[in-house]
Amino acid sequence: MSKPGLLETPQPPTPKVRVVVATREDRAGFLAGTATGRSLSLPHRPLHPVVEIYLQERNHEGLPAIYNRTIEASRTDPAVLVFLHDDFHLCDSYWAEQAVASLADFQLVGLAGNRRRLPNQPSWASIDAKQTRDRAENLSGMVGYGKGFPPVSAGFYGPSRQEVKLLDGLMLIVHSDTLIAHDLRFDERFDFHFYDMDICRQAEAKGLRMGTWPISVIHESSGAAGLASEGWKAGYRAYLEKWGD
**Confidence (pTM):** 0.92
The whole-angstrom separation of Cα 192 and Cα 137 is 28
pLDDT tens, residue by residue, 77-118: 999 999 999 999 999 989 999 999 999 999 999 999 999 999
- List per-residue pLDDT tens for the chain, 245 residues long: 445 555 666 666 788 999 999 999 999 999 999 999 999 988 766 667 889 999 999 999 999 999 999 999 999 999 999 999 999 999 998 999 999 999 999 999 999 999 999 999 999 999 998 889 999 999 999 999 999 888 888 889 999 999 999 999 999 999 999 999 999 999 999 999 999 999 999 999 999 999 999 999 999 987 655 566 899 999 999 999 999 99
**Edge-to-edge, what's the strand order for the sheet holding 17-22?**
51-56, 17-22, 80-84, 171-175, 108-110, 210-212
Give which of 128, 116, 111, 145 is closest to 214, Cα–Cα.
111
Radius of gyration of the chain (CA): 18
- Give the alpha-carbon dihedral of 96, 85, 107, 109, to 10 degrees: 80
CB-based contacts of 159: which residues, under 8 Å, 6+ apart? 140
Give which of 37, 19, 16 is closest to 171, Cα–Cα.
19
On whether the CB atoms of residues 33 and 150 are closer than 8 A, the answer is no
The whole-angstrom separation of Cα 2 and Cα 7 is 8
Q: What are the distances in angstroms from CA 174 to CA 19, 99, 115, 196, 243?
A: 11, 9, 19, 13, 23
φ/ψ of residue 9, rounded to 5 = -85, 125
Q: Which domains does the chain have, with CATH numbers?
A: 17-243 (3.90.550.10)
Q: What are the distances in angstroms from CA 71 to CA 105, 139, 176, 179, 187?
A: 21, 29, 6, 8, 13
On whether the CB atoms of residues 141 and 215 are closer than 8 A, the answer is no
Amino acid symbol at 82: V
